[in-house]
Chain A
Amino acid sequence: MEISKKVILTGHFGVGKTSLVQQFVKQKFSESYLTTIGVKVDKKQVDVDGAKVNLILWDLAGESSAIKVPKSYLLGTQGIIYVFDVSREETFAYLDDDLLELKKSMLEVPHVILGNKSDLMNEEDLASIKSKVPHEVAFTSAKENTNVEEAFLNLTKMML
C-alpha cells in the first residue's frame, strides 16, 4: 500500500533546506547558493517498516527573522523539518518563537529540528549548541551527506 505524507521544510534563509532536499532526493550537493522563492515541491518515495511512503517535500523560502508561512502552504501538513545553520547563531536564536508560531497555525504535527552544516563546526562547538537549544536537535551536513537520510526517515517513522 502507498501512503503520501506532506512535509514542510522551514527555517531562515541560507541554512540549507534546499540542499538537504537535493541531497536526499538526488544525492547531489552544490556549493553555490540559489535562494528559493515561494515553495519548491519535490517528491521522494521511501520504504519504512515495509510501507511505501511518498514524501511530498514542500521546501519553503527562508525568512530573515521570524518565520512567516502563508496559511495555504500549511494545509494538510503532516510533518515539519525545522532547519538552522550551526555556523550562524541568528538562525537558531529565536527557534522557540518560530516553533510556537508554527504550532499555532497547525495542530501538533511531528517535527524534527536539524542543525545543518555540521561540517563547519567541531564536536565541542556542536555540543555547546546542543546545550543552548532546549529541544532535541539532530546535526546534519548536506555537503558531506551526514545524517541526511536518517533525519528524513526518522520523521517519516514519527508520522506513521
Chain B
Amino acid sequence: MNLNELKLAYFKRRSQIVVFDHDGIVLESCNTLSSISNGINLFEEIPFMQGLQHEIAKLRIGEPVIYNCIHTSVFDYQSFFDFIIRKVEDGDDVKWVWLIYDFHEQYENILELQQQRNVSHLQKTSLQKVNKNLVEEIETLERINEGLKTSGSSNILIKSDNQLINVDMKDVLFFEAFGDYVKIHTSKQVHVNYNRIKNIETKLPEDQFVRVHRSYIVRIDKIENIEQSSLQIGDKIIPIGQSFKSSLLDRLEQL
C-alpha cells in the first residue's frame, strides 16, 4: 500500500459514491455505508434529497453544491454527513454524482463544544435576569423606605421569603450577616432578606443602632450586658469586633 492509498483508506471506509440520473434514479452505488440498489428514486426515498430536484437539475456541469454537517439518515444509516453533489458529463449523457462523507466522530466533537458554549450563554442570561429583578426590587424597597424614614416612621419594609414584611424598628434586636443575605432578628421571629449588612447600616437611625462586628448591628437599647469581647441580647451572645470596640464605647458613653 503506498502513501496515497493509506491516506485515502479512511475516507474509503467512511464515504460512498452514488450516481443518479435527472429523475433521481440510482444508476450506480459503491455501497460502503448504506446499501442503495440501482433503480431506486432518491428524490422519493431520501428526505434530504426531497425538494431539491429542481435545484439539482439547474446545476452547471462540474459545479459542485456542498452541504456540511447534515444530520440525517441515508436509508437505515444515520449519521452526521457532508454531501457534495455534482453534475457530470458522461459521453452524450449527463449524470449526477452524490458523494457522501460520514463525519460522525468529527461532528460529535464540535457538537460537544457548541453545547458547552450555548449552555453557558443561557445560564449567564438567566442569571442576569434574576439579578436584574433583584436589583429592581431592592431599589423599589429603598425608595419606599426612604419615604418612611423622612416621614418619621420607625418601620422598614423588607422582602423575606417572597413576602413584603413591615418590620417595626423598635422590635428589632439585631441584624446578622449571612452570606449574600441578612438575618433580621426581632423579639418574635427571624426574617431573611437578600441584602448586604453594609447597605442596611446606612439606612438605620444612628441613635438607635450600632455596628459591633463585621457581621452584626445591634439595637442599643436591647443590649443587656457587655464584656471584653462580646455582648448579650436575650440569650444570644454577640461578638464585638476589635475595630468596632472604640466606636461602641463612645456611643455608650454618650448615652
Q: What residues on A are CB-neighbors of B122 within 8 Å?
A: 14, 33
Q: Is the CB of B118 within 8 A of A38?
A: no
Stretch of A39-47, A93-101, A134-142, A144-152 at the chain-chain interface: A39-47
Q: Interface of chain B, helix or strand or loop or mixed?
A: helix
Q: What residues on A are CB-neighbors of B69 within 8 Å?
A: 37-39
Determine whether B98 belongs to the interface, using a CB cutoff of 8 Å to chain A: no
A23-49 contacts to B, CB under 8 A, are 33-43
Q: Is the CB of B51 within 8 A of A35?
A: no
Q: Which of these, A13, A41, A62, A72, contacts B66 with CB under 8 Å?
A: A72
Q: How far is the CA of A35 from the CA of B113 in the complex (A)?
A: 10
Q: How far is the CA of A5 from the CA of B47 in the complex (A)?
A: 10
Q: How far is the CA of A54 from the CA of B117 in the complex (A)?
A: 34
Task: Report the interface size class on chain B.
Answer: 20 to 34
Asked, given contacts A75-B52, A78-B51, A90-B125, whether A70 binds B65 with beta carbons under 8 Å apart, the answer is no
Q: What residues on B are CB-neighbors of A54 within 8 Å?
A: 50
Q: What residues on A are CB-neighbors of B208 within 8 Å?
A: none
Binary contact readout B95-125 vs A (1 if CB under 8 angstroms, 0 otherwise): 0000000000001001100110111011001
Q: Is the CB of B114 within 8 A of A61?
A: yes
Task: Report the interface size class on chain A.
Answer: 20 to 34
Q: Is the CB of A76 within 8 A of B71?
A: no
Q: Which of these, B50, B71, B107, B121, contacts A56 with CB under 8 Å?
A: B50
Q: How far is the CA of A40 from the CA of B78 in the complex (A)?
A: 11
Q: What residues on B are CB-neighbors of A5 within 8 Å?
A: 51
Q: Is the CB of B80 within 8 A of A41?
A: no
Q: Which of these, A4, A34, A38, A88, contacts B70 with CB under 8 Å?
A: A38
Question: Can you pick out 6 interface pairs between chain A and chain B where the beta carbons lie within 8 Å of each other?
Answer: A72-B65, A75-B65, A76-B51, A76-B52, A76-B53, A76-B54
* Chain A residues in the interface with B (C-beta under 8 A): 4-6, 13-14, 33-43, 54, 56, 61-62, 64, 70, 72-73, 75-78, 88, 90
